[in-house]
Chain A
Amino acid sequence: LVICREHLPASAYTRVMAMAQERKSAWPHPADLLLVGILWTAAIKGLVSSYPSARELGWLHAAFALFMTGVVAYDTSTRQTSWWSLVRPWAIVAWMFTLYSTLGRLSVAAVGDNTFDPVLARIDEALLGFDPSHEVQRFVTPRSVEVFAIAYAWFIPYIHLALFLNLESRGGENRERFLTAWTLLYALSFLGYLFVPAFGPGAFPREHDHTELQGGFFFQLVQDSVAVSGGLFGVFPSLHVGCSVFLCYSDWNRDRLRSLMYIPIVLGIYGATIVLRYHYVIDLVAGTLLAFSTPSIGRWLYTRWESRR
Chain B
Amino acid sequence: MIYRFISWCARLALAVFFRRVDVVGIEHVPRDKGVLFVSNHLNAFVDAMLLRVVLPRPVWLTAKETLKRNPMMRMLLWATRTLTVQRREDQQGTSGNRAALVQLASLLASGEQIAIFPEGFSHSEGRLRPFKTGAARIALQAIEKSDQVVVVPVGLVYLQKSVFRSDIVVRFGPVIDVSQLPADKREPHALTAYFQSAVSALAVPLSPERSEFVRWVAELVISDGIVPRRIGEARDNYLPRYVEALERISTGYDRLDAGRVADIQDRVLRLHSLTGGAQLAASELFLPLSWWRVAIFVVRELEVLLVAGPIALLGFLNHLPAYLGTRAIVALTAKDEDHVATNAVFFGLPCFAFCYLAQSAAVAALWGLGWVVAYAVALPYSGAVVLLFRDRMMDSRRRLASFFALVSNRPRRDQVQEQARALVRDIKDLLKEVSQ
Contacts and interface: CB of A to CB of B under 8 A. Distances in A.
A9 B292 contact: yes
Contact of A260 (B227, B290, B385): B385
A263 interface: yes
Given A165-B300, A169-B296, A257-B385, A11 B288 contact: yes
A21 interface: no
Contacts of A262: 307
Contacts of A260: 308, 311, 381, 384-385, 388
Nearest to B384: A260
B131 interface: no
Given A11-B288, A11-B292, A260-B308, A169 B230 contact: yes
A168 interface: yes
Q: Which of A253, A255, A264 has the most CB of B within 10 A?
A: A255
Contacts of B278: none
Interface in B221-264: 227, 230, 232-234
Contacts of B299: 161, 165
A258 B301 CA distance: 10
B293 A9 contact: yes
B33 interface: no
B74 to A, nearest CB: 39
A288 to B, nearest CB: 18
Nearest to A263: B381
B37 interface: no
A138 interface: no
A67 to B, nearest CB: 30
For the side of the interface on B, what is the size category?
20 to 34
A12 B292 contact: yes
A10 interface: yes
B284 to A, nearest CB: 16
A255 B233 contact: yes
A256 B307 CA distance: 14
A11 B227 contact: yes
B308 A261 contact: yes
B291 to A, nearest CB: 7
Nearest to A262: B307
Contacts of A11: 227, 288, 290, 292-293
B308 A165 contact: no
Contact of A257 (B232, B292, B381): B232
17 contacts: A9-B292, A11-B290, A11-B292, A11-B293, A12-B292, A161-B299, A165-B303, A169-B300, A254-B233, A254-B234, A255-B233, A257-B389, A257-B392, A258-B304, A260-B308, A261-B308, A265-B307
The 7 A-B residue pairs with the shortest CB-CB distance in the complex, in nearest-first order: A261-B308, A257-B388, A9-B290, A9-B292, A255-B232, A261-B307, A260-B385
Given A254-B233, A261-B385, 5 more contacts: A165-B303, A256-B388, A260-B381, A260-B385, A261-B307
